Amino acid sequence: MTLQELVHQAASLYSDKIAVCFDECNNQPPVYYTYKTVINAASALSNFLLLHCDFQGVREIGLYCHPTINLPSWILGILQVPAAYAPVDPDSPPALSIHFMKKCNLKYILVEKVHISKFKSSYEALLNYDMLTVEHNDLVLFRLHWKNVEVSLVLNDRKEKYEKGTMTKSMHSESSSEEKSEEHMDVRLKHCLAYVLHTSGTTGIPKIVRVPHACIVPNIQHFRCELPVQLGFPLLGTVVEVRDTNGFTIQEGNGQVFLGGRNRVCFLDGEMTVPLGTMRATGDFVTIKDGEIFFLGRKDSQIKRHGKRLNIELVRQIAEGLQQVESCAVTWYNQEKLILFMVTKNDLVKDYIFEELQKHLPSHAIPDELVLINSLPFTSHGKIDVSELNKIYLNYRDLRSECKLSGKEELWEKLHHLWKSVLSLSEDALKIPDESLFLNSGGDSLKSIRLLNEIENLVGTSVPGLLEIILSSSILEIYNHILQTVFSNKDLTLSKNQAMKRKFSDATQEETSGKSLHQETVMPLDCDNEINAFIALSRGNQILSLNTDRYLTKLGHCPSTYSSDLNSQTDIENRESLSTPPLIGKSEDPSCVVEVSEEDTPVIRAEKMEFRVRWRSDTGKCVDASPLLVIPALDKSSATVYIGSHSHRMIAVDLYSGKVKWEQILGDRIESSACVSKCGNFIVVGCYNGLVYVLKSNSGEKYWMFSTEDAVKTSATMDPTTGLLYIGSHDQHAYALDIYKKKCVWKLKCGGTIFSSPCLSLIPSHLYFATLGGLLLAINPATGDRVWKHSCGKPLFSSPRCCLQYIFIGCVDGNLLCFTHFGEQVWQFSTNEPIFSSPCTSASEQEIFFGSHDCFIYCCSMKGHLRWKFETTARVYSTPFVFRNHNHNSEMLLAAASTDGKLWILESKNGQLQSVYELPGEVFSSPVVWESMLIIGCRNNYVYCLDLLGNKGNEVQSLEYT
């Protein structure tokens, strides 16, 4: 069975059904081909190739093109010859592609017509002009010849000879340690090969991998037979072995994974025959325990960068192969930057080095930074000292950040220099015209990121929206955009709110004055006597303090530095009153355990924490909603937890005792988390029956019900300036509700189901909604008018989160996305699985925390760089919560939950584990922490309140306030 036979089987059954869909993501509708169209186009290409190609030996045909609607037909046409398909990327450095084509000994290549000029200029020495090229529709067939062609991949001869000399030895070590098979698979057989690829391999030198049909077809058959495919189990016909250092199969302990099977064999480089059942070393090291395999790491230096696998050893070898380079080393700094350290034989210009590297490396392998050093540091064992290299880079970065720009003229001059450097233009090149566009000058998306980093390093600060400007505007416009951030209003003292503002032609009065243009408060005047002073906490450190300043002043605590006490979201986290909560009396501050390092610098040793169940409350069914905690300013003893469950019950529970204050039965399942009204007298929650319930906070009595047209799973957001409540529904609409007048103020269709909760920004006055259709929308909260929208391409289950400068949101495609308040995407951070967790930010707004289905909790900087990540034991669905360790007031901690019921307490600065506790059920609820108590819902039907305990030696000391 071959790949083309599988396609023909499907075509015979579904001739007129859609086989291929191609979307260029250019706001144009996708293009579709039926099976009949694909087969007809493929057959025409096959006939053309059989007419013009004279095969001798291995049948392989190159294909030089970008993905289009025709690509499947072209691949199928090659396979039907029959021949193997060998992709050649037009964007790959010519030297790398020539290396690939030469090692394949490729005789024929099909070139897409739109790339003819680029192909000829890149590979002119390979083209055989003795034979005329022939055309077929959008393709041109070239015959290649290799006589007297010098290929420089900057890989020295001894490495090539070493590879050839060890091929036999490698084959012997990789073949089965069991009984040797006398049968072989022969690469020269007519129907053997499906495709040919190149990889960096485990040595860093690109290998050629020829993949037979017999190796790839079982994958497709497996997926056809088993849906869904079980993760952690080998595919059909695949044998997995773990071997020790002597090559013997083991059932327990540490070893390397080998893969193979009777027909699961590929051909490496020059191999012509391979014994059936050959096992190949993967480079993956694991440990086997109780029959389960756990990944330990790789024996090589493979990383994933810009979505592609890269062996950093390849970068080192290419760089070291340059004549002017004496020695070098490469590090993957903080898993975010590729740094090349070089010892040179003479003074070199960095621009020259980058220019040479771009000739021989794919774009995803180009280093972010190049650091020239006098000598490489080594450990006592003679290995490169990576930790010392990291110190060198930190010193280099700090030194560079101290070099301040002297003025606008120097910025213009250095911007020109960076432009030429990133685009590999000579410094002697003509002056860059003011209207020059980056992409038209040879730039691409990866180079634009490098230019962005270089500019931000130069000016010493992040420049919001700069990446979009680089990709779409002239160098003069880029310069002007930077000026807005770096030099505008230089002599003025700007507030934090004003500092993020940038000049926009359509700037509103609100944006320039810093004042909200919201409509007047919707609360009736006669309601003043009923207004309560309280602090409300909900998931993701959303902390709201209302009407509390005058009470905090009476208690002897400093009020907020803001003139108004209507503070939103993270603003309140900066309050001194929350740093050391004044409402619950005092706590004893146990003496810290201090260690002294070799440099006599005191180091606080983190004290591990423990959990103790304070109370639990049975709701009757699963609790997926997150708790809302409301603490009255004057009566701390009446602090209340509000939460609903699948049992239709909405309950109010006393925070300290766990006693149920009231219970209200709603019309259906509750997954929406509760929201408090501005006056504090009402709780608002959505329900599966499509109703939004407004309940009296002291009794649970139903005050008002608002009906949408579908389930309401999202949580409401309250506008502290007006008292309006904003909420979304599965009916694809966003709503603004005036609960005091019991009416809907506005309603907006959002173009997709709304699952996540809205987020409100006071400056600028924007309300953010996200949809399962992948749209992120900014809405004017006063009018309901759409301000801007952005299509993220994949569903958005995560809720958006604001800070003063940016909006963050997680996407099902595994990316955390960052936008300015004006809809410009600033960056994206990639994980390996969907993100349902909503992001939360630290009080300083310097870090973002979130979880992913890849079983990691992440901490990123505001620039989208990874600070740390922590591996959990299951997917992370819920939103983390940052809080202060009251045992060490200066230490911030992070509470997070994984779906297997584990609660994790981490140090927010470095991700180190402080404590873990397992609840007896799955957890989709998000934790909320107040003082030393953590509240969370569980799918075993209970709401839990856990005390966090400080462990000092063998003594367990409670951190709770008494």
Output the DSSP codes for 763-787. Answer: TTTEEEEE-TTSEEEEE-TTT--EE
Note the pLDDT of residue 496: 28
Note the pLDDT of residue 104: 84
The CA R_g of the chain, rounded to the nearest whole Å, is: 32
**Which sign does the torsion angle of CA 490, 495, 496, 501 carry?**
negative
pTM: 0.47
Collapse the DSSP code of 814 into the 3-class scheme (helix H, G, I; strand E, B; otherwise coil) and give the result. coil
**Which sign does the torsion angle of CA 288, 294, 297, 302 carry?**
positive
Residues 555 and 582 sit within 8 Å (Cβ to Cβ) = yes
In terms of phi and psi (left: phi > 0; alpha: psi -120 to 50; beta: otherwise), the region of 336 is alpha
Tell me the sheet residues that pair with 88: 64
**Count of Cβ atoms closer than 10 Å to residue 44 Cβ:** 14
Note the pLDDT of residue 445: 61
**pLDDT averaged over 10-residue windows placed end to end, the chain, 962 residues:** 93 93 80 95 95 85 93 96 92 80 88 88 67 79 72 44 41 44 78 84 66 90 68 80 90 90 85 89 84 73 72 84 85 82 76 79 83 86 84 78 69 86 69 83 72 80 72 85 70 30 31 34 46 85 71 34 31 34 29 32 48 92 94 85 95 94 93 93 94 95 93 92 93 94 94 90 91 90 92 88 92 91 92 90 86 93 92 92 79 92 93 91 93 93 90 38 28
Distance CA 239, CA 679 (A): 66
Closest CA to 86 of 262, 265, 220, 267: 267
Note the pLDDT of residue 230: 59
Distance CA 571, CA 842 (A): 10
Q: Is 429 exposed, middle or buried (0-12, 13-18, 19+ CB in 10 A)?
A: exposed
Distance CA 170, CA 593 (A): 54
Distance CA 929, CA 539 (A): 9
Tell me the sheet residues that pair with 343: 327
What is the token pair recorded at 960?
């709770």
